[in-house]
Amino acid sequence: MDQFWRKLKRQVAANRQAPNIDVLATQATTWVLALTPTEACRTAGMLSDHFWLKKVVQDFWLPTW
C-alpha cells in the first residue's frame, strides 16, 4: 500500500495546493476510480509473487485482470 499511496500523492497532491481538503479528497477519489483493475492491483503490489494475501485473493475473488 505504500507504493499505492506514494503514486497517489505524486499524481494528485505533490507540489500543488488545493483550495481545501474536500477538493483534494475529490481529486484523490477521482484518481483512484480512474485506475483500471490491473493498474490498481499492480500499484497496490497485488500482482507480486510475494504478495502476502495472494492465496486469500485467489480463493475468494475472481481475477479482474
Structure confidence by residue, pLDDT tens digits, 2-48: 777 888 888 888 888 888 999 999 999 999 999 998 888 888 888 88
Instruction: Give 10's DSSP letter.
Output: I
pLDDT of residue 22: 94
Rounded CA-CA distance 10/39 in Å is 15
- Taking the domains of the chain in order of start, what are their residue ranges? 2-9+18-60
Name which residue leads in pLDDT, 12 or 53: 12
Assess contact for 11 and 31: CB atoms under 8 A: yes
This prediction's pTM: 0.64
